Amino acid sequence: MISRAIFDELKTWKEATDRKPLLLKGARQIGKTWAMEHFGQENFEFTARFDFDEKQELHAVFEHTRDVQRLLKELALFTDVPLEAGRTLIVFDEIQACEAALNSLKYFCENLPEFHVMAAGSLLGVAVKKKKMQVPVGKVTILTMRPVTFSEFLHTSDERTWQYVNDLDEIVHLPEIVLSRLALEYRRYLICGGMPEAAMALLEDRGTAQVDKILQDILDLYELDFAKYAEPRDIPRIHAIWNSLPSQLTKENRKFLYNVVKSGARAREYEDALLWLEEAGIVQRCFNVTRPGIPLSAYRDIGAFKVYACDCGLLRRLAKVSPEVILGGNTNYTEFRGALAENAILQSLLPQCDDIPYYWSAEGRAEVDFLLPLPTEAVPVEVKSERRISGKSLAVYAKKYQPPHRIRFSMNNLQQNCGLLSCPIPLADWALKLLALCPPAETVPPNEAMG
């Protein structure tokens, strides 16, 4: 079993005195149902799960009353466990299938706050928009569940190395044995990605063929979702955008271009399809800013953005890159290696920031891969997939804006110099913790290059 960091957030929710019903969001096959059930088993005497897709008769229970006391009495007929405050976790699964159940979260919040109620749904964002459903804002705690992180994967695959990294309290070179173990496990992680079933298949040594089958099954499921839940006119456009991701990210300039999706395609024709993929949690859009002001959201260019997959394993399989290429370092794999590394870095950064990372560019002369929106500064981030760190973009940015901190991810060892954190890619999940140990730059040196 992979220990998920989200359980810490769920425990905080459980113990909160001002607790509200919890709404768990996330892409399909991310492990939401498993997380809710496992959390219930570990932290409550009883777990009562109600699946609104599986049991259509549940819909009538919610459509006939808003009285939560009456709801509890009727729900008790659908479960073998008692529904008791403090002892039972009530789970509403596939809640997007029943609008009345989604609305009931408001009444649980107002009238029965002593009960622990947790809900989740597949394609929740898509369903809410399509059916014009109302999420009871202010009456629920919304939590986003993301793919298994490399840190979580490493904790299961090599706990000793994970513990060493987790205990770091200063910026020092890692021992070569630690660095080599991290590199090996990171390559393995790029093969399976963060979809729990695929990660477990690799961790249980079931072979890369089985990993690829699981990932392909998920991709096939996504394709079926496009046909089932999208507007008919958008279905081919969603397919086209999704399948263009490897090509979009392999370009030297990773800016999303509609004509890569289809020759002559225009933004207004494909915008709804792109929004559908975002609402489904399948892709993540990062916008360009031409000036790193605070907040970064005030300086974003809505017409310039990059689009990444929700998971690096799915992106690898979508691109039909074999596991052997990832492990062997094929020379023809250079361009996509960079794209895959960038996608994996974004997955690591998202849980660490309150806002989505942006990127910076300057009239085609330079481009910084990401800007992290921290409370008091925008931290420029450069991603290099291997040890070679040539490139002038971070230096151009540093000279122009004199940022207190910068981050360069590569496969080189850990070090810092004048506010520049040189961080091995496998340590990206610890980036902000390590950045806090890095003294800010007083002035940026003219030569940014570090070995």
pLDDT at 450: 42
Quote the CA–CA distance of 237 and 266 in Å, as a whole number.
Answer: 11
- Residue 284, helix vs strand vs coil: strand
Alpha-carbon torsion (266, 267, 272, 278), positive or negative:
positive
pLDDT in 10s for each residue of the chain, 451 residues: 898 999 999 999 999 999 999 999 999 999 999 999 999 999 999 999 999 999 999 999 999 888 999 999 999 999 999 999 999 999 999 999 999 999 999 999 999 999 999 999 888 888 877 777 788 889 999 999 999 999 999 999 999 999 999 999 999 999 999 999 999 999 999 999 999 999 999 999 999 999 999 999 999 999 999 998 899 999 999 999 999 999 999 988 889 999 999 998 999 999 999 999 999 999 999 999 989 999 999 999 999 999 999 999 999 999 999 999 998 866 677 789 999 999 999 999 999 988 899 999 987 778 999 999 999 999 999 999 888 887 789 999 999 999 999 999 999 999 999 999 999 999 999 999 999 999 998 754 555 444 3
Q: How confident is the model at residue 451, as a pLDDT?
A: 38
Half-sphere exposure of 62 (CA within 13 A, CB side): 22
**Coil vs helix vs strand at 142:** strand
Q: CB neighbours (10 Å) of residue 125?
A: 18
Q: How far apart are CA 169 and CA 147, in angstroms?
A: 27
Q: What is the pLDDT of residue 388?
A: 83
Domains of the chain: 6-144 (3.40.50.300), 151-435 (no CATH)
DSSP-derived secondary structure for 97-134: G-HHHHHHHHHHHHH-TTSEEEEE-TTHHHHHHHTT--
What pLDDT is recorded for position 324?
Answer: 93
Q: What are the phi and psi torsion angles at 319 (to 5°)?
A: -85, -5
pLDDT at 328: 81
pLDDT value at residue 333: 79
Q: Of 95, 100, 98, 70, which Cα lies nearest the Cα of 83? A: 70
pLDDT the model gives residue 224: 94
- Cα 128 to Cα 146: distance, rounded to the nearest angstrom: 20
Residue 122 has a pLDDT of 83
Per-residue model confidence (pLDDT) at position 329: 65
